[in-house]
Structure formats: C-alpha cells, structure tokens
Amino acid sequence: MDSHAYLRDVVRTYRNYKALADKAIAQVPTDADLHKQIDPDSNSIAVIVKHVAGNLRSRFRDFLTTDGEKPDRHRDDEFEMPEQVTREEILRWWNEGWAIALGSIEALTPEDLDRRVSIRGEAFLVPEALSRSATHTAYHVGQIVYVARHLASPNWKSLSIPKGQSAEFATGAFKTKGIAPGSPDDPR
C-alpha cells in the first residue's frame, strides 16, 4: 500500500465527516434546537458535539508522544450540559477539536505509520488508532445528522442522494451535490 495515498485518504475521510456534520448542524433552525433531545435517554447535538470535540482534542493533542486519554479530559462531563450555550460556542468547541485532530493527522509521515501510540494505556499502531478514531467519529456524525434531520424537518436538504433519485445520481446529475469525490466541497 502506498503510505502517502493512505494518509491522504485518512485526511479526506476526516474532512468529509466534519463537512457532513457541519452541513447538518447548519440546517438546525435555532440554538435551542441544538439542545433538544429526541427522547430522555438520547443526547442533543450540543452534547454530541461537546463529546466528539473532547475526544478529538484528547486523542490528537501530542498524538505520537502522549497517551490519547489526557489527564485533563473529563469524559463524563462531556455528556452534561447544565445550561444551554449558543451555536457559536458549540461550533467553537467543535472547530477546536477538529483543528487539533486534523493538524496532527496532516502532520503524519509514512514513517509514523509504523509507530505505536497509547490510548488509556493500551498500545496501538498509528493506523489502528486512526481507524478506531474515525469509526468513533463517524458513529457520532451519524447521530448528529439523524437528529439534525429530525429537527430541520420538513425543510431538510439531503446531504447525499435524495430518496428516489439514485438513477439521476448514477448519470452524474448531482456532480455538485454533497461531499462526493470531485464535488466542490471535496477537500482533496
């Protein structure tokens, strides 16, 4: 496998997940809606963002040299939101976490792929840690999209191929839709 191609793909994958969540959050009508829970046991978008941002900040700050579970991270607190905060504050957390993650990932070299990092004292090869983080992030981005779609309905604008339009997509009718490879938002 071409290590440079792998690293480019990892960066592209993370950027696509961020863009997907950004577009979903942008469709949520109000700041208060960002704090709504679909049911009492679910998390609001604000809480999910707080958790993902905390996770990315912890995992990727000094990624190659310190444990991914930083002593200043308080994971349980990420799921608490005693007071509503503004969309601006929520997006500040989000963007700070992503900036740390993307900065660390973009700085990786092919040689770094043979290195080991630790998360909660457990050793992982760098590609394993990246895969683990991407999977975790994708899980929560999916939650953000699902909740945002619910809150934005009936004004939701599809972030992928709209229902019933797969045939049009296959013919190239949506070349500028979403974050598909080659689209204007494609970070490659």
- pLDDT, residue 182, reads 44
Predicted model pTM: 0.88
What CATH number has the domain bearing residue 41? Answer: 1.20.120.450
Sign of CA dihedral 177, 152, 49, 89: positive
- pLDDT, residue 176, reads 54
Task: Looking at the structure, tell me whether residues 16 and 48 fall in a common domain.
Answer: yes
Task: Looking at the structure, tell me whether residues 178 and 149 fall in a common domain.
Answer: no
What whole-number distance in Å separates Cα of residue 141 and Cα of residue 23? 11
Task: Looking at the structure, tell me whether residues 141 and 176 fall in a common domain.
Answer: no
Buried b (16+ CB within 10 A) or exposed e, 161-172: beeeeeeebeee
Task: Looking at the structure, tell me whether residues 26 and 75 fall in a common domain.
Answer: yes
Task: Looking at the structure, tell me whether residues 8 and 31 fall in a common domain.
Answer: yes
Task: Looking at the structure, tell me whether residues 131 and 175 fall in a common domain.
Answer: no
- pLDDT, residue 163, reads 82
Q: What are the DSSP calls for 71-119, one per residue? A: TT--HHHHT--SS---HHHHHHHHHHHHHHHHHHHHT--GGGGG-EEEE
User: Could you say which DSSP state residue 125 is in?
Assistant: E
Q: pLDDT tens, position by position, for the chain (188 residues)?
A: 799 999 999 999 999 999 999 999 999 999 999 999 999 999 999 999 999 999 999 999 999 999 999 999 999 899 999 899 999 999 999 999 999 999 999 999 999 999 999 999 999 999 999 999 999 999 999 999 999 999 999 999 999 888 888 888 777 765 554 544 444 454 44
- What's the total number of domains in the chain? 2
- pLDDT, residue 82, reads 87
What whole-number distance in Å separates Cα of residue 148 and Cα of residue 44? 9
Task: Looking at the structure, tell me whether residues 101 and 174 fall in a common domain.
Answer: no
Task: Looking at the structure, tell me whether residues 181 and 141 fall in a common domain.
Answer: no
Task: Looking at the structure, tell me whether residues 76 and 166 fall in a common domain.
Answer: no
What residue numbers bound the domain in which 7 lies? 3-157
- pLDDT, residue 164, reads 84
Task: Looking at the structure, tell me whether residues 124 and 62 fall in a common domain.
Answer: yes
Task: Looking at the structure, tell me whether residues 152 and 166 fall in a common domain.
Answer: no
Task: Looking at the structure, tell me whether residues 16 and 87 fall in a common domain.
Answer: yes
